[in-house]
Amino acid sequence: MNKEKLDSKIRDIFCELTIDKALVRKLKVREQRTIPTFVEEWLISRFQQPDKSDGDVYKDITNFMSNHLPAKTEKEKIKYRLQLNESVVLLDRFEARIDITRDRKLLSIPCLDERNAHVAQDVLEKNQTLLEGGQWGAGRLSIRPEGNNKVIELVEFHPMQSGSVRLEHLINARQEFSTREWIALLMRTMGYEPSAYTEEQQNHVLLRLLPLVQINLNMMELAPKGTGKSFIYSNLSRYVWLNSGGALTQAQLFMNLNTKEVGLLGKYDLLVLDEGQSINFKGADDIHAKFKDYLESGQYSIGREKITSECGLIILANIDLYDGKPRQADYIKNLPEMFHDDALLDRFHGIIPGWEIPRFTTESAAQGYGIKADVFGQYLHQLRTVSHVDFPFGDCPELKGDSRDVKAVTRLASALSKLLLLNPGHPEYEDYVLNPAIELRQRVRGQLAELNPHEFKPHVNIYKND
């Protein structure tokens, strides 16, 4: 595929919603501060002008970050300025939560390690995304008295966004691209250069987006180190929470009974458990039971509370290969013991074959234009719950057979249909949507047969209801 033609088509059709991914990498803004790619691209878009050199853009961004995105070592200086009754503007991921018992609107400000700041009523009314797992933006903070104490309050907020995101635009744009060109656009937008991957490898990389466009989709990706498994999840969408190994508790995942704060599975579109082979679950038996309940029904009970959520789950884990394939047939054994339970594994819809994706190299990084990450993240978020009237994609033919196989393939096919804008009846639907969905579920079936060959057959049991 010709790179220049692809760049030109992307720029012409998506206009101000695009950015040169190669320029983003060249400026290396993230080397100055640990920020997601979608924040980095927003900063570059804000300061880039036709008459500015790359050096001037970089200088403007770093000056802005010095003033409004403080390093952790500067947090006490910021608090001191607030104590002197200065107002301070910070760029951060602000997250609000409601304390009903004490009638308070509380705010988390990560760069200040502050969890109990307050947010003004009018600010919250205009920016309710602050209550949806947080929102990156520029917030003005000040100090105000509360009884005998003083509290930090968010008094003004401007969310970080690149412009209007209309799904109608996506539908119209898709008509100008072939399916392979559309996949190349998605690869670029994710941060990968399509020419560095074979078509089959591109198809596998694309599967990483599926739980971002479909509610309650549960997946795994097992691969050797260095294939970029977690890259998009930590950089593409503010609606994703990436947990990188370590210990996880029931309170973190489901609900803290002391504070009544809903856990990660109740806050985000997708929970990513990275370094899955080394996760330590505290209270594994209780978590195991709640996982089984949630992955099946999309709800869980804790104490007297019953929580319903549309959050998906994806587990990323490293496995050893031999001659390019998993070293052992039961490669699921690389995961913590709770996932060796066939009843839990059966609730996962698909396994991405990360061993088919090459290691990420400098040549793998996007070399041209793609959709801005924050815009694309918003597209993906909207596709999860959009009505069929507004977005007539996501169809799957009626399937019969094993209920869990049917549920899994239908959900996976719906996600691929939304992502590629291909419905049944299109000549490419089976190759790009239905067959890949069946293959994803087939790997789960294969592992179930390895774990319990007496109960599970190794092949997906579905057929079309013709």
According to DSSP, residue 433 is labeled: I
Mean pLDDT across 71-95:
91
* Percentage of the residues of the chain whose pLDDT score is greater than 90: 64
What would the pLDDT profile of 299-346 be if each residue is shown by its tens digit?
Answer: 998 888 889 999 999 999 999 889 989 999 999 988 988 999 999 999
Q: Are 333 and 404 part of one and the same domain?
A: yes
Query: What pLDDT, on a 0 to 100 scale, did the predictor assign at position 261?
Result: 83
- Residue 34 inside a domain? The answer is no
What would the pLDDT profile of 30-67 be if each residue is shown by its tens digit?
Answer: 887 788 888 898 889 889 888 889 999 999 998 888 88
Query: What pLDDT, on a 0 to 100 scale, did the predictor assign at position 162?
Result: 58
What would the pLDDT profile of 333-372 be if each residue is shown by its tens digit?
Answer: 889 889 999 999 999 999 999 999 999 998 898 999 999 9
Query: What pLDDT, on a 0 to 100 scale, did the predictor assign at position 163?
Result: 56
Give dist(CA 240, CA 243) in Å, integer.
10
The domain that contains 346 carries what CATH number? 3.40.50
Give dist(CA 264, CA 195) in Å, integer.
36
Mean pLDDT across 234-257:
88
Structure-block tokens of residue 55: 């050096």
Contact 238, 133 (CB under 8 A): yes
- Quick check: helix, strand or coil at residue 157? strand
Q: Among the listed ranges 223-232, 340-349, 421-430, 437-446, which one has the minimum average pLDDT value?
A: 223-232
What would the pLDDT profile of 199-212 be if each residue is shown by its tens digit?
Answer: 999 999 999 999 99
- Residue 362 inside a domain? The answer is no
Contact 105, 152 (CB under 8 A): no
Q: Domain tally for the chain?
A: 2
> Each residue of 252-263: b (16+ CB within 10 Å) or e?
bbbbeeeeeebb
Helix, strand and coil content of the chain, in percent to the nearest 5, comes to 45, 25, 30
Mean pLDDT across 104-126:
92
Q: Among the listed ranges 8-17, 21-30, 118-127, 291-300, which one has the minimum average pLDDT value?
A: 21-30
The domain that contains 134 carries what CATH number? 2.40.50
pLDDT band at 164 (very low <50, low <70, confident <90, very high): low
Query: What pLDDT, on a 0 to 100 scale, did the predictor assign at position 465?
Result: 74
Domain hosting 441: range is 198-357+393-464
Q: Are 244 and 334 part of one and the same domain?
A: yes
pLDDT averaged over the chain? 91
pLDDT band at 177 (very low <50, low <70, confident <90, very high): very high
Q: Are 133 and 203 part of one and the same domain?
A: no
Q: Are 155 and 214 part of one and the same domain?
A: no
Q: How many CB atoms lie within 10 A of CB 291?
A: 23
pTM surpassing 0.85?
yes
Half-sphere exposure of 77 (CA within 13 A, CB side): 10
- Residue 329 inside a domain? The answer is yes
Backbone Cα Rg of the chain: 23
Q: Are 205 and 347 part of one and the same domain?
A: yes
What would the pLDDT profile of 128-139 be if each residue is shown by its tens digit?
Answer: 889 887 888 999
